[in-house]
Amino acid sequence: MLLQVEDLFVNYGVIQAVKGVSFNVNEGEIVSLIGANGAGKSTILHTISGIMRPKSGRILYNGKEIQKEKSQKIVSGGISQVPEGRHIFAGLSVLENLQMGAFLRKDKSQLKKDYDNVFERFPVLQERKNQDAATLSGGEQQMLAMGRALMAAPKLLLLDEPSMGLAPIFINEIFDIIESIKKQGTTVLLIEQNAAKALSIADRGYVLSVGKIVLSGTGQELLNNAEVKKAYLGG
């Protein structure tokens, strides 16, 4: 197992955001974590990335506990994140944003290939590479945020609502890209409110509701589940 989350509790002050969540991600999978707004999805990702500390519980990556590690240690270990709302670095060019993704990279020889790879996957980033990242459209910014996280050469990519606020044409493209990222060997933990899309590309999925996992199964099982249909797929 690449990632194991065990009985995770995370608070904001007195507010319990995550209440005993356990799940796992195997190498090579796309695992989707779906749930309504405020269910605790982003909190879980922030805790995995080491920018929030759990109240209790463990996070194991390749069998080693990482819940107390610093964020840069976690990234250099192979987990990078595309945050909710993209959070590209405004004022830095597209290329500089990608360079920041590669901040910890030491393997300079592989680096060039990875830039080529990102530019091939997102040709628009190559076209705009010297432009201020803030001038990109929402969909392009999402691609940049993904390219930036890929430049860290992750084994596990965490994606927090990549389709949020995007035009339908971009949404399809983003999900295609996520599948192709998996095909190239990167494991993906995908968080979405767009449950239909997220489950359709997922190997497995979990449903999170007010800080707890209430359902799990393969992507297909969850898509066909009556409760999931009712609560997340609009009937």
Q: CB under 5 to 8 A by kind: which of ligand ADP, Mg ion, other proteins, none does 189 bind?
A: none
Contact criterion met (CB below 8 Å) for 109 and 120:
no
Interface with other proteins, residue 125, by CB under 8 A: no
Interface with Mg ion, residue 42, by CB under 5 A: yes
CA 32-38-44 angle, to 5 degrees, is 50
DSSP per position, 140-187: HHHHHHHHHHHTT--SEEEEE-TTTT--HHHHHHHHHHHHHHHHTT-E
Q: Which is nearer to ligand ADP, 40 or 154 (CB)?
A: 40
Distant-in-sequence, close-in-space partners of 116: CB < 8 Å, separation ≥ 6: none
C-alpha–C-alpha distance, residues 235 and 232, integer Å: 8
Q: CB under 5 to 8 A by kind: which of ligand ADP, Mg ion, other proteins, none does 1 bind?
A: none
Of the ranges 36-44, 56-64, 111-119, 143-151, which one interacts with ligand ADP (CB under 6 A)?
A: 36-44
Instruction: Give the shortest CB-66-to-other proteins separation in angstroms.
Output: 14
* Among residues 39, 150, 157, 223, the one that binds ligand ADP under rule CB under 6 A: 39
Of 231, 235, 232, 205, nearest to 219 by C-alpha is: 205
φ/ψ bin of 209: left (φ > 0), alpha (ψ from -120 to 50), beta (otherwise): beta
Of the ranges 1-9, 84-92, 199-207, 219-227, which one interacts with Mg ion (CB under 5 A)?
A: 84-92
Interface with ligand ADP, residue 14, by CB under 6 A: no
Q: Which is nearer to other proteins, 40 or 83 (CB)?
A: 83
Helices and strands, number each (H, E), in the chain: 10, 10
Q: CB under 5 to 8 A by kind: which of ligand ADP, Mg ion, other proteins, none does 92 bind?
A: other proteins
Interface with ligand ADP, residue 41, by CB under 6 A: yes
Distant-in-sequence, close-in-space partners of 16: CB < 8 Å, separation ≥ 6: 9, 10, 211
For the chain, what's the residue count? 235
Q: CB under 5 to 8 A by kind: which of other proteins, Mg ion, ligand ADP, none does 49 bind?
A: other proteins
Interface with other proteins, residue 75, by CB under 8 A: yes
Contact criterion met (CB below 8 Å) for 46 and 11:
no
Provide the binding-site residues for Mg ion, judged by CB under 5 A: 42, 84
Provide the binding-site residues for ligand ADP, judged by CB under 6 A: 12, 15, 17, 35, 37-43
Provide the binding-site residues for other proteins, judged by CB under 8 A: 49-51, 70-72, 74-76, 80-81, 83, 85, 87-92, 96-97, 99-101, 103-104, 134, 136-138, 141, 148-149, 151-152, 165
